[in-house]
Amino acid sequence: MEQFVTAVDFGETYFKLVKASITNDTLHICSTYKVLTRGLRDGEIYSKSEFQECLASLINKASTSKEPIHKIFVILPSNKLNVTRKKLELINEKYPEGLTTKEDIINLKKQMTTSGLKENEMSVGLYPISYYSDGRDLDKIEPYGERCHTYGLEAFVASLPISSSRGFIDSIEEMGIGVLGAIVAPIANSSLCLKQNEINTGAILLDLGGDGVSISAFYNGYILANYRCKKGITNVINILSNSLAIDFTTATEYLYKYGVGSSKDGGSYKIIEKDIKENEITEVIENGLNEVFDEIKKVINGFINESADLPIILTGGGANIYHIDNSISDILNRTTYTRGYSKVGGKDYSYNCCIGGIIYYLTHK
């Protein structure tokens, strides 16, 4: 039986939608759409009317008479994502026989996600490190059947301000659109872009967005840190536009066309009645990108030891820039890859988050 799932990635520059069908456990991408928006600011809804108008536009484009879209899977921005390592121990009064059922484990996780959170926060993810009972470490295996007086869990808890996550869901449901579920962007991206061994042994995920760069670190099966750089790809486009006196649209086109050091023959191209050599374009692009890279480098070196040989995986629209992986690898001195779903527009990395969200939904429903 064919099943359809639609995911929407709410970015600050673009809202992006991917509609997929699943037949015999095979994922097929039916359609991809994006719409420019200014409905968000710093990860929260800035203009509710524009937010809803942009989402309605995406839904209308992707809906068909045979397969209208009534529900979506939501990918939330990670601007205000907080990841905290927590340890919770409970006296086993309700379950004197110990953790004997799946419901006991679920109850423990629920208490972990609500215990100690600030009043204005809500949990959006829990990543167990280890379970323990009566002081004994039970490793990461969920301890069904474990009999104990006290039981506990150590885990990373990811949380967002209620105003952020609840605001998105309320605004969507107000439009008559159901919400299948919601996760934050780094978790969605990791579901598609990271290999299992990278999640276990460690990797850094860079989501190169227009209004900023999200930096997430994964290790031993969970996300352990998330940071955001304020300078993004839009910053580079503005520098290119101002330096060469060209409009924003043209600057965007040439950023992705020429990228980092693409010139081999030093040719020239006429842009708005002004001859500009290609190496002039790439030089300005490199200078603009270096501003972004410098901020990324400071953040990464601030929480990860330089000797830790963790690869960098690129995603987001900025990953489409020609040779950007080589440039980041040289500057950060780390092995760097770009990853995506090859069947989408010749690997358009800007849709990675949506596709990863669909994969996450299918494996966790």
3-state SS class at 87 = strand
Tell the residue number behind the tokens 């420019």, with chain if given.
Answer: 36
Q: Report pLDDT for 35.
A: 93
pLDDT recorded at residue 345 = 44
Class of domain 82-161: alpha beta
Please, what is the Cα angle at 308 between 312 and 285, to 5 degrees? 35
- Give residue limits of the domains in the chain: 3-79+163-195+342-364, 82-161, 206-338
SS (H, E, C) 299-365: HHHHHCCCCCCCCEEEECHHHHCCCHHHHHHHHHCCCEEECCCCCCCCCCHHHHHHHHHHHHHHHHC
Assign a CATH topology to domain 206-338: Nucleotidyltransferase; domain 5 (3.30.420)
DSSP state of 100: -
pLDDT (0 to 100) of residue 97: 60
Q: How far apart are CA 346 and CA 344, in angstroms?
A: 6
The two three-digit tokens of residue 95, written as one number = 């379950």
C-alpha to C-alpha distance for 41 and 19, rounded to whole angstroms: 26
Q: Indicate if 206-338 has the same CATH topology as 3-79+163-195+342-364.
A: yes
Closest CA to 345 of 323, 320, 314: 320
The residue assigned the tokens 């994922």 is 27
- Pairing type for strands 44-45 and 40-41 reads antiparallel
Which of left, alpha, beta for 311 (phi over 0: left; psi -120 to 50: alpha)?
Answer: beta
For 183, half-sphere exposure in the C-beta direction (CA atoms, 13 angstrom radius) is 25
Residue 222's Cα: distance from chain center in Å?
14
251-255, Cβ contacts within 8 angstroms, sequence gap of 24 or more: 254/281, 254/285, 255/285, 255/321
CA-closest candidate to residue 83, choices 159, 178, 184, 3: 159
Whole-structure pTM value: 0.81
Q: Please give, one letter per residue, the 3-state secondary structure of 33-66.
A: EEEECCCEECCEECCHHHHHHHHHHHHHHHCCCC
User: What is the predicted pLDDT for the residue at 197?
Assistant: 86
Q: For the chain, how are helix, strand and coil distributed in percent, rounded to 5?
A: 35, 35, 30
Find out if CATH 3.30.420.40 is the number for domain 3-79+163-195+342-364: yes
Q: Counting every residue, how long is the chain?
A: 365
pLDDT along the chain (365 residues), means of 10: 90 92 86 88 87 94 89 91 77 58 74 70 76 71 67 80 81 95 90 87 92 88 83 93 91 89 48 66 90 91 77 93 91 88 66 93 84
Q: How far apart are CA 235 and CA 212, in angstroms?
A: 9
Supply the pLDDT for residue 189. 92
Amino acid identity, position 232: G
Q: Rounded distance, CA 122 to CA 69, Å?
A: 28
Query: Reduced to 3 states, what is the DSSP secondary structure of residue 232?
Result: coil
